[in-house]
Structure 1
């Protein structure tokens, strides 16, 4: 009896110390509703990457927002980005996002930089991207508003921990660092185009 009681009392401690179960990231399969769901204004919230060019940008990034809108081609989207890199506001006027329907991936082309990502299934007001960068893990979270629920943020951070990232390797932006006019996603007058 004492052995059974000791076992039952010790079981919660054993369960509490086990690492969390990592649910697999489930990519979205593109269909006719996927792309319209991506259109509009987004605010970059948090992310982590071990890909050196992305990591350098994450370290300098204080705030970012972007708008995705249709282009004249079915397999292409346009995007405008407003970034605060350290103390400088930058507007990247129009870059392209190529849509690859056959493997449900997006490719962002910006000057000489190419990034490929899969959209991960999540809440309709969240945009989680798993970046495919030369076998370097990379995940980012954007949202329709700067106010992401604590639960959604914790779930995202748990996924980053499952990918092997520590708290120190996770970079988050702050709404207080938004560029003038960026808060609403309209009328960015102060930043200078890159």
Structure 2
């Protein structure tokens, strides 16, 4: 189902000459209730960026599932990521999300690499991030499942058009490229479980 919706989104992006109306992205309040709602599994669906290092990463990223869990202190979340980068399944569980309540931002720290984003207010089963990297905009959409409504995808597509992302700056994940989760059996192609990064 997602593959068909992804094609519809891509076609819609190619045909959209003028965005229908640019509703502002409203940042979510980073309070305890919002942060508790972030815990658990998320599936990355689509991302876009004008930041050159992120463009390279998005080109290689075929599918990703990530899990937020409580961090070592109140303003930190732990992250486990299982993703296919080109043809390789990778598991990372060493990164953290630092929460800055005073300015409503999240910082993803993975080794020496820090990426900052605002959490955008949306449906509780959607995770929309507005990425802030050296003045280069980026947007990403993740969800609790692959079953995202056509309307939700259209709203996100409209935001991409409003932020003037070109087709070559928008990358869709594919459910067929999902890596097996730890403890799952390999698929019929014999794909091995994700390898630690």
Query: What TM bracket, shorter-length normalisation?
Result: 0.7 to 0.9
Indicate the structure (1 or 2) with the bigger Cα radius of gyration: 1
TM-score (norm 2): 0.84
Give RMSD over aligned pairs: 1.5
Greater relative contact order: 1 or 2 (C-alpha under 8 angstroms, separation 6 or more)? 2
- Alignment partner of 1:27: what SS? coil
Query: 2:55 — aligned with what?
Result: 55
Aligned residue pairs, count? 174
Task: Provide closer, same or farther for how the CA distance between residues 79 and 150 of structure 1 changes in structure 2, counting only shifts above 3 A.
Answer: same
- What is the distance in 2 between the residues matched to 1:27 and 1:62? 27
1:19–1:140 distance in 2 versus 1, CA, 3 Å: closer
Aligned-residue offset at 1:104: 1.2
Q: Distance in 1 between matches of 2:113 and 2:194?
A: 21
Structure 2 unpaired stretches of 5+ = 1-16, 185-191
Question: Who is 1:187 aligned against?
Answer: 183
CA-CA distance at 1:147 after TM superposition:
1.6
Who is 1:120 aligned against? 120
Poorly superposed stretches of 4+, deviation over 6 Å? none
Q: 2:19·2:158 contact (CA, 8 Å) conserved in 1? A: no
Distance in 1 (CA, whole Å) between partners of 2:64 and 2:18 is: 36
Give the TM-score normalised by the residue count of structure 1: 0.85
Task: Name stretches of at least 5 consecutive residues in structure 1 with no aligned partner.
Answer: 1-16
